[in-house]
Structure 1
Amino acid sequence: MHFNYVIKAADIFVVYYIIYRLILLIKGTKAMQVVWGVFVLALITFSAKALDLKATFWLLQKFWFAGVFLLIVVFQQEIRNALANIGTNPLGRIFIPQEYLFISELTGALRTASAEKIGMLVALEQDMGLKDIIDTGVSINGEVSKELLLTIFHNNTILHDGAVVIANNRVVAAACQLPLTEQKELSKILGMRHRSAIGLSEITDAIIVVVSEETGMVSLARNGKLQQRPNIDDLEKTLFDLYKSKIEKTLLRRGQRK
């Protein structure tokens, strides 16, 4: 008997958690507005039945029958994307708040850059601000996208030298100058990008990713250490894990504001 209660409690918790994460995912999008509209109509439907408003209840019943198909048509692209994510990403990834999905755009750019041996140097601002670094570059203030990052680092662009800084989930600047590490024991095969990545990670809590122009190897610098990450999928998971605490802090602040 006690075990049945545990199963029921777990069932309720899973349903609550999924609904909670889905609400966080669609918050601020047009889908959220539709969800609120559906909620209001459901409330009206329940009230009509409770008050025995037969004509109103009959009309709303017809709406619910047609409304399901209408929602599928309106949000067919969103549904397709969600199903694709289920097939290609870990389930937990689907419930990441949208403002952190820039990581997928970044790793998409890293895949292409690695395959085509396009040199890249990207610094992800964390708790410590990178204003001094940002001020050395060219202001961008654009949404993070695979196309933007690859365009910036293409050899024919004037911004490909230096680093891109991503802060507040946006590309805030390009062609930024990073401090070089003074570590003497580093391999001589490491170029300026790698030494700059390590140098910034020594004095800030930033996460820096590097793509070698010579080999296409992807590396991650953090806390003064450089790790080669040849598997982009593993790197993407690492970045999501590193942002996990930041995500939880964001959700906590949202809850406190409410």
Structure 2
Amino acid sequence: MPFLETITDQTPLELLVNLIDILLVWFVIYKLIAVIKGTKAVQLLKGIFVIITVRLVTVALDLETLGWIMQQVLEWGFLAIIIIFQPELRRALEQLGRGKLFSSSTLNEESERNRLIEAMSKSVSYMAKRRIGALVSIERETGLSEYIETGIPMNSDITSELLINLFIPNTPLHDGAVIVQKNRIAAAACYLPLSESPFISKDLGTRHRAALGISEVTDAITIIVSEETGAISLTANGDLHRNLSLEDFEVKLRRIWFGENEQQPTASSLWKWGGKKNG
């Protein structure tokens, strides 16, 4: 076979260079996919794949007119991709210029995780003490785009101050759920599906039913603060964890959200011992 002959004719050094070349190509492709993941570019790529498939079908079935149209689309497609993907390409170039496109700093990731957990914990603690009802759903593997579209787009950084302000009673965005996507607040005042399970306790209100409902159809994590009692609850994978202490809430959120099992000081314990300033 020509392929086997080509391999056998190469020296070990040439084989090693070719292997490194292939691995680098796959690495670049992986990073590019990571850049556009979660953006509109993903849907556009699906459209391009459909066009290529149609073009192959026209060749196989000898459909000249449709084949000519698809050929024109593909020939001018490169220019169209530059125009359509302009925001994603600009973001990739900016990250490349900052040296962040191919970086994977474990320290930075851990710092960002701690910041997110602290922001969630501070806001939940504040609202629980004052019995401010809250509903925050965090996207994981299953996309929540259809629910994000029901709310008001935000695309904001996660901070405790913003989360608290969103749920202050009688404000325009307090009614509904806040949805977190890719570690950012994607939208507020979103509608979540209510659970229809007959086994739900009768004393649970709409927020808890919505949190259970979204956990039954997706793998999202949803945080609930009860307006009546100030109790902190959390749902994930169809399970409801009720009446959590702030420490237990942080541990469960960190374990489910980031898959961390190791024991480490929680933000609330640091506040208690003066390690952090109260917000």
Specify the TM-score bucket, using the shorter chain as the normaliser. Answer: 0.5 to 0.7
Q: Which amino acid aligns with 2:106?
A: L
**Which residue does 1:222 correspond to in 2?**
236
Tell me how far 1:132 sits from its aligned partner.
0.4
Figure out how many residues of one structure are paired with residues of the other and give that number.
157
Deviations 1:195-217 (A, max 9, x none): 00000000000000100000000
**Residue type at the aligned position of 1:214:** E
* CA pair 100-172 structure 1, distance change in 2 beyond 3 A: farther
Give yes or no for the alignment of 1:103 onto 2:185. no
Q: Which 4+ runs in 1 deviate beyond 2 A?
A: 23-26, 243-246
Secondary structure class of the residue paired with 2:244: coil
Q: Secondary structure at the match of 1:101?
A: helix
The partner residue of 1:141 within 130, 152, 155 is 155
In structure 2, runs of 5+ residues without a counterpart are 1-104, 261-279
1:24 is aligned to 106
CA RMSD, 1 decimal: 1.9
Match of 1:205 among 200, 219, 225: 219
Q: Distance in 1 between matches of 2:246 and 2:123?
A: 10
Name the CA distance, whole Å, in 2 between partners of 1:236 and 1:220: 10
C-alpha distance in structure 2 between counterparts of 1:243 and 1:98, whole Å: 13
Mapping 1:99-178, distance limit 5 Å: 101-178=115-192
Report the residue type matching 1:165 in the other structure. I
Please state which structure has a larger fraction of its residues in helix: 1
CA distance, structure 2, for counterparts of residue 162 and residue 97 of structure 1 = 30
Alignment-mate amino acid for residue 98 of structure 1 = E
C-alpha contact 1:126 1:206 (8 A) present in aligned 2: yes
The amino acid that maps onto 1:158 is: P
Contact 1:229 / 1:235 at 8 angstroms: preserved in 2?
Answer: no
The amino acid that maps onto 1:25 is L
Indicate the residue corresponding to 2:248 in structure 1: 234
CA shift digits 1:222-243 (9 cap, x unpaired)? 1112111431112111111123
Q: For residue 186 of structure 1, what is the aligned residue in structure 2?
A: 200
Unaligned runs of 5+ in 1: 1-22, 27-94, 247-258
